[in-house]
């Protein structure tokens, strides 16, 4: 039995990109990584009685940059909302996020799936991207059976980027995640450091028989490497197919991937899902973004990877594949641009081959 | 010296400037009165003589060294007390709750900071309904406050400690906050003048949040003139509060002496219908007659949606409160239950033991109206009503300069009279709540006495940013009458 032809996999990704601002999204604390616990948490971050949030405009600039880079609509008016739940590393008892009206709406990202001549183009539509604050961390070791709380990360600005359920394989999901990872670094809004949690993905996965309505999805939380993403989705897809084949319907759930076993396991089911009681945060005015602000931010954006790929092909006669590789990261693209500026356009293909071959190989060593 | 306990802020300021009294002497005078009278009133719940006197000495220094060098605030050296909802550095800040019984604030609220910068001396922290939820001061964890006019009666709430302290002349002025009437109603019930500014005029930074979109701090004192001086020091843009309004500073006392000839007073027929006690009605109508003598004309206006203000308020305010009070979870500060099994048990027990019944009631209501499936029917509907109420005022102010009516439907009631029936208690604020929903400024001033010789308050509602006009209207009345100068016998007998 060939399962590949019987089942269609449907994947949507939610990515939390930590924004490269100097300070937190609603307070003046630094967001630098690695400080001693709670040394980067001020009165607002620890939610003392009476404190109030003030929006960091730099975080909004990052959202505008992203919206422009993915061809989305930048909402002229978006609203911050409170997502209410109790957790020890959530100091206010609610997270300030955006719910009904996000700052970035629509847009999409073109990705290349596969390598070489067999690579195919895949366009992934975005639903939205919204600004929100990160929570702190609960530390379960070193406290003799008790839990420590570190609120340095509480209030760190995040852009949550949500796709439509457009991806049909783990390869497509990884290709999209890689393209997004590259783009946020390209436009300078996120350092992309996955070990430190600056870029983390949740994958919503379901399976269905082609032509049928969407199946019930399970959400794999906190995937912090592309390899784990691939493994987690592949395992999850196979698990769901087996369940259905065994006559057990899929129940909506949140699951975690365990890299040691290569398996996903359920954290909580939908029955005990929270009612977050979202409502507009009365401490913050609606975020209004005027066209002049968008224009000003747009003027400061670098040439985007897509545009650069087109230019490399038309200006230097490079193949689409070469252009895609060279624009895989901002660093490589910059290096190529400087190098070809020195050697002249005539030797562009030679420079490209050297950068992609010799240089890349040595960098990987 | 001996009569300074009953002086206006302007008189105190003049006495300090003329060196007839020092800030230390003034502070001591009031601290001594507090020692004698507070045990019978329970208005103050935190006192620290050393801190107060240190601040007074600093104010004396400023007056001495700064004279002729820098501009000295007229308020420098005058004592006042803060409602315990304001975070006050180094002082216990409890918000009237067990859950913050041992919370000492590491920072000053914007209002506290501004009044301290003007040189005002903090006498102590004032009792209040727990988290400002109440209209009688009976919900305080620290016990009820007695009304100095009759200690068997409530002082009103939630700023009941502020009102009782000033009425008993334990402080010449105090801060208050008003979410649905919490400055105006206790001012009325204790024979004082209190002002709730336009939403956004005074920063909420450091003021413990009850309902963020309604809360506003304001002054409470004996007269409109005193309130104007205090508001000058309290108001102003604060970048730490995103709802603070970026407007140029104004002198709220600038129009105090304007004559009232030609003033158009709007009288909403909804404020003069059933529900108002006869004694209150008589005093309010006498005040309106006095205004006519001062050259004002009365015009009937309509606020057709004001009847919906109490139900809309009791959706919006608890909704916001249910979220605002989530931070009191026993994790980082405040009360934590001594014994618990696991995390959820710690939350449940800490909050069950730390909050009083009225606070729990409002958290439950708020949680309910925000819940999935109820949000549209309650919260969104209430927000729509709120816009209708504001639109009513916009229409009314096309025809009048200020709106007047009673502050409270009755004079101060006896302890326990309404505490068994929350809805009866909520109706105490029926005339004050609509201004909070609309974000308008409002004030209450004494206009006579009703049954059992208890004070009656006249409410003035101003247009948005109409504080100076409102204060002018109140001040001219106070020049023509002496209700605001009456003092409960308990206060005078203490001499």
pLDDT digits (tens, 9 = 90+) for B430-471: 999 999 999 999 999 999 999 999 999 999 999 999 999 999
Please tell me the distance in Å from A146's CA to the nearest CA on chain B: 11
| B332/A149 touch (CB, cutoff 8 Å), yes or no | yes
pLDDT at B176: 98
Please tell me the distance in Å from A50's CA to the nearest CA on chain B: 4
Compute the mean pLDDT over every residue in chain A, rounded to the nearest whole number: 93
Asked if the peptide bond before residue B158 counts as cis, ω within 30 degrees of 0, the response is: yes
Structure confidence by residue, pLDDT tens digits, A43-77: 999 999 999 999 999 999 999 999 999 999 999 99
Query: Which residues in A lie closer than 8 A to residue B103 (C-beta atoms)?
Result: 49
Query: Which residues in B lie closer than 8 A to residue A47 (C-beta atoms)?
Result: 327, 332
User: What are the catalytic residues of B?
Assistant: 83, 158, 182
Residue of B nearest to A38 (CA): B332
Structure confidence by residue, pLDDT tens digits, A17-41: 999 999 999 999 999 888 899 999 9
Please tell me the distance in Å from A96's CA to the nearest CA on chain B: 11
| A84/B326 touch (CB, cutoff 8 Å), yes or no | yes
Q: Pick from A43, A54, A88: which is nearest to B239 by CB?
A: A54
Confidence band for B419, pLDDT divided at 50, 70 and 90: confident
Confidence band for B404, pLDDT divided at 50, 70 and 90: very high
* CA B210 centroid distance within chain: 13
Residue B477 and residue B225 in contact, taking contact as beta carbons nearer than 8 Å? no
Quote the tokens at residue B163. Answer: 């009102």
| B326/A86 touch (CB, cutoff 8 Å), yes or no | yes
Dist CA B85 CA B176 (whole Å): 8
- The answer to whether residue B209 neighbours chain A at the CB level (below 8 Å) is yes
- Give the end-to-end CA distance of chain A in Å, rounded to a whole number: 42
Contacts of B216 (CB under 8 A, 6+ apart): B177, B178, B179, B196, B197, B198, B199, B200, B201, B202, B204, B436
The interface pTM score, or ipTM, of the predicted complex is 0.96
Quote the tokens at residue A117. Answer: 């001549």
pLDDT at B494: 52
DSSP element (H, E) containing A360: helix A360-364
| A86/B347 touch (CB, cutoff 8 Å), yes or no | yes
Orientation angle between helical segments B309-324 and B381-396, nearest 10 degrees = 130
Domains of chain B: 4-265+398-493 (3.90.1300.10)
pLDDT at B488: 97
Torsion of CA B366, B369, B373, B379, to 10 degrees: -120
| A91/B375 touch (CB, cutoff 8 Å), yes or no | no
CA nearest neighbour of B354 among A277, A49, A155, A87? A49
Residue of B nearest to A47 (CA): B327
pLDDT (mean) for B381-394: 98
For residue A151, what is the DSSP state? Answer: -
Dist CA B25 CA B60 (whole Å): 10
> Residue for token digits 């009681």?
A277
Contacts of A201 (CB under 8 A, 6+ apart): A13, A14, A15, A16, A177, A222, A223, A224, A229
| B326/A93 touch (CB, cutoff 8 Å), yes or no | yes
Residue B124 and residue B34 in contact, taking contact as beta carbons nearer than 8 Å? yes
Least confident of A4-13, A78-87, A89-98: A4-13
Q: Pick from A55, A86, A283: which is nearest to B329 by CB?
A: A86
Beta strands across the sheet bearing A279-280: A94-98, A80-84, A279-280
pLDDT at B400: 98
Confidence band for B29, pLDDT divided at 50, 70 and 90: very high
Quote the tokens at residue B5. Answer: 């306990």
Query: Which residues in A lie closer than 8 A to residue B239 (C-beta atoms)?
Result: 54
CA nearest neighbour of A15 among A92, A109, A112, A140? A109
Query: Which residues in A lie closer than 8 A to residue B217 (C-beta atoms)?
Result: none
Dist CA A61 CA A67 (whole Å): 10
- The answer to whether residue A273 neighbours chain B at the CB level (below 8 Å) is no
**Helix extents (H) in B325-400:** 343-354, 357-370, 381-396
Please tell me the distance in Å from A82's CA to the nearest CA on chain B: 8
Confidence band for A1, pLDDT divided at 50, 70 and 90: very low
A48, burial (CB in 10 Å: exposed 0-12, middle 13-18, buried 19+): buried
Confidence band for A5, pLDDT divided at 50, 70 and 90: low
Nearest 5°: phi and psi at A32? -60, 145
Dist CA B414 CA B150 (whole Å): 9
Dist CA B479 CA A354 (whole Å): 91
Q: Which of residues 87-106 of A touch B (CB under 8 A)?
A: 88, 91-94
- The answer to whether residue A270 neighbours chain B at the CB level (below 8 Å) is no
Contacts of A24 (CB under 8 A, 6+ apart): A30, A31, A44, A45, A56, A133, A154, A155, A156, A157
Dist CA A271 CA A290 (whole Å): 42
Quote the tokens at residue A275. Answer: 């009612």
Compute the mean pLDDT over every residue in chain B, rounded to the nearest whole number: 96
Please tell me the distance in Å from B146's CA to the nearest CA on chain A: 27
Provide the percentage of residues in chain B whose pLDDT is more than 90. 93
pLDDT at A146: 84
Query: Which residues in A lie closer than 8 A to residue B205 (C-beta atoms)?
Result: 50-52
Confidence band for B66, pLDDT divided at 50, 70 and 90: confident
**Helix extents (H) in B211-265:** 224-234
Q: Taking the domains of chain A in order of start, what are their residue ranges? A: 3-299, 305-364
Dist CA B27 CA B49 (whole Å): 9
Residue of B nearest to A138 (CA): B331
pLDDT at A270: 60
Nearest 5°: phi and psi at B379? -65, -50
- Residue B19: CB atoms within 10 A of its CB come to 11
Dist CA B111 CA B236 (whole Å): 10
pLDDT at A273: 66
| A50/B86 touch (CB, cutoff 8 Å), yes or no | yes
Residue from A29, A41, A48, A49 to probe the interface with B (highest B Cβ count within 10 Å): A49
pLDDT at A32: 85
pLDDT at B340: 96
How far, in Å, are A145, A275, B21, B375 from residue B371 at the CA level? 35, 7, 58, 6
pLDDT at B461: 98
pLDDT at A2: 41
Confidence band for A144, pLDDT divided at 50, 70 and 90: confident
| B107/A48 touch (CB, cutoff 8 Å), yes or no | yes
pLDDT (mean) for B285-306: 97
| A52/B323 touch (CB, cutoff 8 Å), yes or no | no
| B240/A52 touch (CB, cutoff 8 Å), yes or no | yes
Residues forming beta bridges with residue B444, ordered by sequence position: B194, B459
Quote the tokens at residue A310. Answer: 């087109």
pLDDT (mean) for A79-86: 97
pLDDT (mean) for B222-238: 97
């Amino acid at each position: 039995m060939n399962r590949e032809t019987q089942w269609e996999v449907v994947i949507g990704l939610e990515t939390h990109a930590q924004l490269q601002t100097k300070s937190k999204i609603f307070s003046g604390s630094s967001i630098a990584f690695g400080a001693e616990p709670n040394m980067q948490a001020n009165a607002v971050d620890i939610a003392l009685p009476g404190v109030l949030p003030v929006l960091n405009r730099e975080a909004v600039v990052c959202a505008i940059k992203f919206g422009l880079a993915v061809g989305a609509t930048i909402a002229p008016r978006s609203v911050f909302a409170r997502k209410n739940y109790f957790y020890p590393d959530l100091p206010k008892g609610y997270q300030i996020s955006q719910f009904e009206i996000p700052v970035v709406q629509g847009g999409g990202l073109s990705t290349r799936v596969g390598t070489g001549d067999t690579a195919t183009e895949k366009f992934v539509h975005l639903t939205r991207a919204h600004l929100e604050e990160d929570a702190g961390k609960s530390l379960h070791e070193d406290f003799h059976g008790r839990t420590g709380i570190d609120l340095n990360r509480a209030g760190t600005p995040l852009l949550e980027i949500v796709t439509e359920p457009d991806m049909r394989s783990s390869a497509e999901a990884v290709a999209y995640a890689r393209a997004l990872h590259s783009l946020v670094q390209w436009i300078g809004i996120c350092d992309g450091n996955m070990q430190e949690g600056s870029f983390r993905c949740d994958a919503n996965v379901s399976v269905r028989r082609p032509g049928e309505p969407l199946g019930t999805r399970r959400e794999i939380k906190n995937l912090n490497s592309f390899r784990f993403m691939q493994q987690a989705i592949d395992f999850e897809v196979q698990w769901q197919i087996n369940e259905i084949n065994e006559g057990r319907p899929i129940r909506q759930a949140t699951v975690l991937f365990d890299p040691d076993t290569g398996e996903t396991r359920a954290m909580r089911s939908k029955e005990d899902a929270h009612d977050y009681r979202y409502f507009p945060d009365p401490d913050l005015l609606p975020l209004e973004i005027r066209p002049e602000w968008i224009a000003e931010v747009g003027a400061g954006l670098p040439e985007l990877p897509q545009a650069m790929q087109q230019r490399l092909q038309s200006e230097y006669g490079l193949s689409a594949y070469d252009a895609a590789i060279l624009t895989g990261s901002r660093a490589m693209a910059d290096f190529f641009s400087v190098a070809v500026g020195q050697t002249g356009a005539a030797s562009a293909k030679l420079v490209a081959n050297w950068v992609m071959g010799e240089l890349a190989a040595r960098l990987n060593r | 010296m001996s009569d300074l306990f009953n002086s206006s802020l302007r008189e105190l300021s003049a006495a300090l400037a003329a060196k007839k009294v020092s800030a230390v002497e003034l502070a001591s005078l009031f601290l001594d009165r507090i020692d004698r009278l507070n045990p019978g009133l329970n208005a103050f719940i935190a006192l620290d003589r050393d801190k107060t006197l240190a601040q007074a000495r600093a104010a004396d220094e400023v007056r001495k060294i700064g004279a002729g060098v820098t501009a000295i605030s007229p308020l420098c050296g005058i004592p006042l007390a803060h409602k315990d909802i304001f975070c006050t550095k180094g002082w216990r800040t409890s918000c009237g709750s067990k859950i913050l019984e041992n919370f000492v604030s590491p920072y000053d609220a914007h209002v506290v900071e501004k009044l301290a910068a003007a040189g005002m001396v903090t006498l102590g922290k004032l009792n209040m309904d727990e988290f400002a939820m109440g209209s009688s001061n009976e919900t305080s964890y620290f016990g009820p406050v007695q009304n100095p006019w009759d200690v068997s009666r409530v002082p009103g709430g939630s700023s009941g400690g502020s009102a009782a302290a000033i009425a008993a002349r334990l402080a010449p002025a105090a801060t208050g906050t008003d979410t649905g009437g919490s400055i105006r109603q206790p001012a009325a019930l204790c024979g004082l003048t209190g002002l709730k500014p336009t939403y956004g005029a005074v920063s909420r930074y450091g003021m413990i949040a009850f309902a963020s979109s309604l809360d506003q701090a304001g002054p409470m004192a004996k007269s409109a003139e005193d309130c104007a001086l205090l508001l000058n020091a309290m108001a102003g843009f604060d970048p730490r509060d995103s709802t603070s309004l970026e407007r140029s500073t104004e002198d709220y006392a600038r129009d105090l002496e304007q004559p009232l000839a030609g003033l158009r007073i709007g009288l909403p027929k909804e404020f003069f219908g059933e529900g108002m006690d006869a004694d209150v009605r008589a005093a309010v109508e006498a005040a309106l007659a006095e205004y006519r003598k001062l050259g004002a004309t009365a015009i009937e206006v309509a606020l057709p949606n004001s009847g919906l203000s109490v139900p809309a308020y009791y959706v919006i305010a608890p909704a916001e409160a249910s979220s605002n009070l989530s931070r009191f979870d026993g994790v980082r500060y405040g009360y934590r239950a001594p014994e618990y099994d696991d995390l959820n048990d710690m939350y449940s027990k800490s909050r069950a033991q730390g909050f009083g019944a009225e606070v729990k009631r409002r958290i439950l209501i708020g949680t309910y109206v925000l819940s999935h499936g109820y949000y549209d029917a309650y919260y969104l509907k209430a927000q729509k009503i709120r816009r209708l109420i504001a639109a009513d005022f916009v229409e009314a102010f096309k025809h009048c300069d200020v709106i007047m009516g009673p502050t409270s439907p009755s004079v101060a009631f006896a302890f326990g009279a309404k505490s068994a029936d929350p809805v009866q208690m909520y109706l105490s604020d029926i005339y004050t709540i609509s201004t909070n929903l609309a974000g308008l400024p409002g004030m209450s001033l004494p206009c006579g006495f009703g049954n059992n010789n208890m004070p009656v308050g006249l409410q003035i509602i101003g247009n948005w940013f109409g504080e100076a006009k409102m204060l002018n209207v109140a001040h001219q009345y106070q020049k023509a009458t002496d209700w605001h100068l009456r003092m409960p016998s308990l206060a005078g007998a203490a001499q």
